[in-house]
Amino acid sequence: MTTRSAPAIVYPETDGMPLPDGEYQAPIYRRIVRDLDDHFSEVPGVNVNGDTFIYYVEGNPRRSFSPDCYVVFGLTEAALHSLSLQGNNTYLLWEVGKAPDFILEIGSPSTAATDMGRKRELYAELGVAEYWRFDATGGEFYGEPLVGERLVDGEYRRLEMRREDDGRVWTHSEALSLDLWWTDGDLRFWDPAAESWLLRREEERARAEEERGGRLAAQARAEEERSGRLAAESRAEEEETARLAAEARMAELEAELRRLCGE
């Protein structure tokens, strides 16, 4: 009698369905994931990703969720290897060994209710340390621009949000060691340690180009000053040559005059 082995369980990278409100959400989450990925790229044991399936029950590919952005710290080499084997497109929680430390969802018409309900409850159950919700509209989907919550004794407690006079809203993320700012419908990150904003790639390129332009301008000024010095030195040499020639000519005339006078 032949014994058939059980088929391998497949944990798909996609459910074949388009991203809900993808045209609205995709540019936002890609920008946020890229900002954080660039910032933590040199920190060991960190994984930054978004819009990928996280499977949290081994053997059940139907138990999954897909955050817009998540960050995991303190990963072992084995966990990082597991993620690399999965192409960073799926996240098997039992292999990685821990849930994300930080999750951020982006408000949209079809996802807001789930983000504030079922997903919030699931993230608390799985032990996600911080759960954030960002509403680019300023409150149309979540009722407020930015919400940060920290897990305490298995329940989420809101972080105190600070509102500036110009309407910007912000507070500190202990998980990221960064301040998150809602500003004019955008989400920006402030690094208190470096006392600077996390620059985006296009801003980095613009700054690099500006610095390059400054260096080229400084080089041009230096070359101009060098050319001016050389021109001045050349003029001085010409004047000295002319002076010496005039003195020599004068000496010749005086000598000729003395000769004519019989001296």
Type of residue found at 120: R
Which pLDDT band, with edges at 50, 70 and 90, does 216 fall under? Answer: low
Of 26-30, 99-103, 108-112, the range with the highest mean pLDDT is 99-103
What does the CA dihedral 131, 134, 139, 145 come to, rounded to 10 degrees?
90
The candidate with the shortest Cα–Cα distance to 131, out of 102, 160, 155, is: 102
Decide: helix, strand or coil at residue 186.
Answer: strand
Two tokens, residue 162:
């600070």
pLDDT tens track for 182-205: 999 999 999 999 999 999 866 666
Rounded Cα distance, 96 and 85, in Å: 11
pLDDT at residue number 224: 79
pLDDT at residue number 206: 58
pTM here is 0.76
pLDDT(3) > 70: no
> Which is higher by pLDDT, 200 or 163?
163
pLDDT at residue number 24: 72
pLDDT(105) > 90: yes
